[in-house]
Amino acid sequence: MIQAGTHQFGPDNASLSVQTGRTGAAAKAGHDLVMLVTAWKGSLVVGEDPGATRIELTADASSLRVQKGTGGMQALGEDDKANIHQTIDDEVLKREDIVFRSTRVQDEADGSRMAVEGDLTLRGSTRPIAFDLALGDDGALGATVVVTQTNWGMKPYSALFGALKVLDDVDVVLEAHVQSR
């Protein structure tokens, strides 16, 4: 059980990352990426009344930085990472903040997780999304949220005349710690 109150998160005390995969005839030429979101803030407000719990998160879309690229014909160099960053800014997320606000947070009976529903705004489009927030006995919080780009009107990035594509489903991973009761 998480202690009642407001818990603040950001790059100083938690981790928020985006993980992409690849597909297409030339998929072996590309890389599966893990990108760290370096400018973001989130809050978990836990009320005495379980129905009062809410979650909010805002991320600077231009703050994604490639941490790891696996696969591919050759290792990612610094120029490759800079090009990926530029492409995300100019073509994929277009420097628009990403915002999540919960509309419903429900503790599961065993206390091991919360079922979260809310609205995600991505590239100017707001749509509902749901995920589970896992709660560890030591105050660990974790969630993997699958974001299907086309649900937000985004065309997954492609290269080599469409022979190499980023998968439509992108994983957003949050890892944090809070005070537990």
Are 33 and 157 contacting, i.e. CB atoms less than 8 angstroms apart?
no
The helix or strand, by DSSP H or E, that contains position 83, with its residue range, turns out to be helix 78-87
Can you tell me the distance from the alpha carbon of 175 to that of 181, in angstroms, rounded to the nearest whole number? 19
pTM of the complete model: 0.90
Tell me what pLDDT residue 1 has: 64
Query: Selecting from 2.40.128.110, 1.20.120.790, 3.10.180.10, 3.40.50.300, what CATH number does the domain 5-177 have?
Result: 2.40.128.110
pLDDT the model gives residue 65: 96
The full set of domain ranges for the chain reads 5-177
Select from 85, 90, 83, 79 the least CA-distant residue to 65.
85
Instruction: Please indicate whether residue 48 or residue 129 has the higher confidence score (pLDDT).
Output: 129
Closest among 42, 34, 33, 110 to 72, alpha carbons compared: 33
pLDDT digits (tens, 9 = 90+) for 60-118: 999 999 999 998 888 889 998 999 999 999 989 999 999 999 999 998 877 788 999 99
* Contact by Cβ (8 Å): 39, 63: yes
- Amino acid 26: pLDDT: 81
CA 116 to chain centre: 14
Q: With contact defined as beta carbons under 8 Å apart, do 30 and 19 qualify? A: no
What percentage of the chain has pLDDT greater than the value 70?
97
> pLDDT tens digit string along 143-179?
999 999 999 999 988 888 778 889 999 999 999 988 6
